[in-house]
Amino acid sequence: MQRAAVLLVLAFSTSTFSLDNGLMRTPPMGWLAWERYRCNTDCQNDPENCISEKLFMDMADRLSEDGWKELGYVYVNIDDCWSSMQRDGQGRLQADPKRFPGGIAKLARYVHDRGLKLGIYGDMGTHTCGGYPGTTLDKVQIDAQTFAEWGIDMLKLDGCYSNSTYQEQGYPMMSKALNATSRPIGYSCSWPAYQGGLPPKVNYTMLGEICNLWRNYDDIQDSWDSVLSIVDWFFNNQDELQPAAGPGQWNDPDMLIIGDFGLSMDQSRAQMALWGILAAPLFMSNDLRTISSGARAILQNKVAIAINQDPLGIQGKRLLKEKSGIEVFWRPLYKGASALVFVSRRSDMPYRYKTSLKTLNYTPGVYEVYDVFMERTVSTLKDSTEFVVSINPSGVVMWYLSPASDWQEEADSLRFSEKLIGRKFHRHAKDAHAPLVL
């Protein structure tokens, strides 16, 4: 597309400022406890679902044994409520001894032995959001060193019980302290979420210099309304947010709630697609021990993951917001490919949306169209050819498009091969002079 050249320059220019730890050149992927398990510490009455070493060991087992790790889901991330209410005699954070009897270092070894990485939670303030010990400025160095000695691979640093002045000092200070440990630790900052998420209060150039990813907006809840609220905020402010993202530095719209209780299968596919357009971190918060086959198929969709993990790292944008309730999103990808997403905000019935690639500002030419969730190539499509897509209520159609002349090369370079998706690509030529129903 014509706009891709401008965005490519932008991507390279922003990536040069990213945190100097060499990490997270594509959005990180894994599992995170918070949305599904919150601050459940009642291990006596709910041992399977409380925040404990057993929960994280169980999820590590599932990631390593059920095909998740091979797809890139490698982080097992602890959130709030893991620690004791008091630091130890040396002023160090310590895990709750009843819920984590082996300590965090033992849990890290367990996770690492399975080829995975362990993330942990802290707070740049006097207390965490759940009331546990926070990291005050005088504790930054010792906490960073403690995390490194435990074998931590990622730190999420929240911002409860502090203020803007405190955060302005503390978040950069922790970045330097983590780098000084000589252990590569990915750094997730919640700083912008506490400052409204937008310039001029939020300096995204500075964030890109100190953080690998950052929370911009509200916590996700287990509902379609919550997903839409986050989507609206990110795309309504896309001109300010999109330039901040790139390899090693990511906007984070929060967790994937696919496999929980609040989303239908259509809505689950929509979240997966839109997080792909956003180049978002993919942290599931669900129960991998009991997840349904439908939710698993969405989260393990190899092409959706490949789009999210595109090496250019360019965040996509919303192209159109139609009065009909249909919205169109686009993301440029490696070697001239792209992703298109059609989302229905309707609640009545499937909607037949008519358009063309030319209308969506595609460069003249012929494109191969692969339907991500149908898992098949659906058409060879000329830019001027009108087509119709049928989108379910609160549902999505997600396409991967590549110039037809480069299709085989693109398939190889993005690993869209028989090894990757378990089937060969089949071309289905259509009448270029009539509207296509796809």
Catalytic residue among 79, 158, 260, 287: 158
Beta pairing partners, 339: 331, 400
Is-contact 127 134, C-beta < 8 A? yes
Q: In what order do the strands lie in the sheet with 213-215?
A: 250-252, 213-215, 186-189, 154-158, 117-123, 75-77, 29-32, 282-284
Question: Is 96 one of the annotated active-site residues of the chain?
Answer: no
Would residue 266 show up in a list of annotated catalytic residues for this protein?
A: no
Angstrom distance (rounded) from CA 238 to CA 37: 31
Per residue, what are the HEC states of the chain?
Answer: CCCHHHHHHHHHHHHCCCCCCCCCCCCCEEEECHHHHCCCCCCCCCCCCCCCHHHHHHHHHHHHHCCCHHHCCCEEECCCCCECCCCCCCCCCCECCCCCCCHHHHHHHHHHHCCCEEEEEEECCCECCCCCECCCHHHHHHHHHHHHHHCCCEEEEECCCCCHHHHHHHHHHHHHHHHHCCCCCEEEECHHHHCCCCCCCCCHHHHHHHCCEEECCCCCCCCHHHHHHHHHHHHHCHHHHHHHCECCEEEECCCECCCCCCCCHHHHHHHHHHHHHCCCCEEECCCCCCCCHHHHHHHCCHHHHHHHCCCCCCCCEEEEECCCCEEEEEEECHHHCEEEEEEECCCCCCEEEEEECCCCCCCCCEEEEEECCCCEEEEEEECCCEEEEEECCCCEEEEEEEEHHHHHHHHHHCCCCHHHHCCCCCCCECCCCCCEEC
Which tokens sit at 151?
A: 């074998």
Catalytic residue among 58, 66, 219, 406: 219
Q: Is the peptide bond before 200 cis (omega within 30 degrees of 0)?
A: yes
**What amino acid positions are annotated as catalytic residues?**
158, 219
